[in-house]
Amino acid sequence: MAIVTIWVDDLLLFADSAETMAEIKKDIRTEWETMDMGEPSKIVGIEISQTLEAITISQKQSIQRILERQGLTKANPVQMPLNLNNKILSNPDGNEGNRSNSYAQLLEELQFVANSTRPDIAFAVNRLASYTAN
């Protein structure tokens, strides 16, 4: 079994054996000029670390940059990112909101993080994003 991920001109290969990996690399080289960068440590802002027991992915650096950009480095971490009992309401004035504000930008960045490595915040981000304009 093998998995090939592609991001523009970068490929990340996964295989169930060294033989399968060698075969995939050979097949790719017959079609394109390639450079083997070895074991991955980062791709598309996702940090990758491997041990014999596990492969771990995170976006610690990306999250830190988001917090710094948004002035949230002193924010308190919590176990549950959104209390399910909190009622979120649309703008009571009913006027058209502004979708190009820092709140919308923050949610956009958090959506990428949630989709990539942090499914634990996906519900909160999606719920808040439904009120981006108002």
Instruction: Tell me the domain boundaries of the chain.
Output: 2-58, 60-129
- pTM assigned to the model: 0.69
E strand or H helix that includes residue 10: strand 10-15
What is the block-wise mean pLDDT of the chain (134 residues), using blocks of 10 residues?
88 92 94 91 89 92 92 87 81 66 86 92 89 71
pLDDT at 29: 94
E strand or H helix that includes residue 21: helix 18-31
Which position has the token pair 């009571």? 92
pLDDT at 97: 62
pLDDT at 131: 78
Alpha helices in 32-93 (DSSP H): 60-69
From the list 36, 74, 42, the residue with the least C-alpha distance to 59 is 42
